[in-house]
Amino acid sequence: MECRSLIYPYLIADIGGTNARFGLVTKVDHDNNHYTIEKQRTYPSAEFAGLEQAVTHYFNDIEISNIRNACLAVAGPVTGNRFRLTNLDWNVDITRAKQSLGLDSLHLKNDFSAYAYAIPYLDNSNFMSISDGISEPRSPIAVLGPGTGFGVAMLIPEEHRKRAVSTEAGHMSLSANTALQSAIKEQLSRRFEYVSIERVFSGPGLKYLYQALAAVEGIKTEPLSAAEITQEAIQSNDEMCYRTLSLFCSWLGAVTGDLTLAFGARGGVYLGGGILPRISDFLLASDFMSSFKAKDQMSHYLENIPVNLVTESNSALLGVSAWLEYYLLREMSEGLK
């Protein structure tokens, strides 16, 4: 196997289509599940031509060159030795990148599977309750949310720990449940060949939703960015922005309910990503939960499932740290057999 010893510090990162966040794990208290993460830096991902350039820039920035091991959360599917960042044109050969960066081991994990791995290591202060409920410990947990894209992962209970499973459920076809949603999806279908969940529930998607809602209602609007739409909605300065963000939250509730049913996620639902923590009060006041539970004869199934918003910004960094430590311990154990 690849990693026989783990030398501190080691590199961790959370790399998405918008930002690349780096840090070093310098110490781990396994008894208390505490990871000391130092020298954190955040850079715009688009500034770099690829993964190797971004990592090299970070090493130069913190003036360090003797890192031996790395585990990186990345926004996209990792298949075999290859990785492609979904919302940025980075194509990575993992073996080649490891050799180029002078690493003994380089592991890439889907970013939302990293979020999922972090859940057991967070305490109550890292969560905001959207809906109280009773978690079934033997059932899966769903971890999902909008950012630059729409990430979805599951935590599956096993005998001694929970195992994270990455998915690409954000690229499933978006379902419409009301006449307005159907009209909006029709508008989006004229613009895009395929209307996925991510097409609406993401940073760019909020802008598309705003434009499609205006088109359905025959209203001329200003060309606002997603950040401007959000700000105007929260401050109640613009009715169309307010209605767009309200629809965003309500429809997201329906999508989250769909995924909860699909996963059988009676262990709970954890919402993450870059958007929802910024609109937490708006989300709480929205129709998110009523849409989440509105599943006809299956509404009772969702009634008591706890739904929480993850407010800890280091979740993915913590998740890849926890995964790499587990990987090492498992490998060492197998090596002794």
pLDDT 10s digits, 94-144: 999 999 999 998 999 988 889 898 898 888 889 999 999 999 999 999 999
pLDDT band per the 50, 70, 90 thresholds, residue 333: low
Residue 146, pLDDT score: 95
At 76 the pLDDT is 83
Mean pLDDT of all residues in 262-268: 97
Q: Sign of torsion, CA 53 59 65 66?
A: negative
Q: What is the mean pLDDT of residues 301-330?
A: 85
Residue 150 is predicted with a pLDDT of 94
Residue 194 has pLDDT above 60, yes or no: yes
Sorting pLDDT into bands at 50, 70 and 90, what band is 324? confident
Q: What is the pLDDT of residue 5?
A: 56
Angstrom distance (rounded) from CA 178 to CA 186: 12
Domain 123-310 architecture: 3-Layer(aba) Sandwich (3.40)
Highest mean pLDDT among 53-57, 148-152, 316-320: 53-57
Confidence of residue 35 (pLDDT cuts 50, 70, 90): confident
For domain 10-110+314-335, say whether CATH 3.40.50.620 is its number: no
pLDDT tier at 1, thresholds 50, 70, 90: very low
Residues 6+ apart with CB under 8 A from 182: 176
Question: Please, which pLDDT band fits residue 31 given cuts at 50, 70 and 90?
Answer: confident
| pLDDT of 52 higher than 50 | yes
Q: How distant is the alpha carbon of residue 157 from its chain centre?
A: 20
Q: Where are the domains of the chain?
A: 10-110+314-335, 123-310
Of 29-33, 192-196, 328-332, the poorest mean pLDDT is in 328-332
For residue 10, is pLDDT > 70?
Answer: yes
Residue range 40-61: average pLDDT? 95
pLDDT of 124 reads 87
pTM over 0.85: yes
Tell me the pLDDT band of 316, cut-offs 50, 70 and 90.
confident
Fill in the DSSP letter of residue 173: B
Average of per-residue pLDDT across 18-29: 91
Q: Determine the Cα–Cα distance for residues 277 and 322; give it in Å rounded to an integer.
A: 23
Q: Which two tokens stand for residue 265?
A: 């996620």
Predicted pLDDT at 6: 65
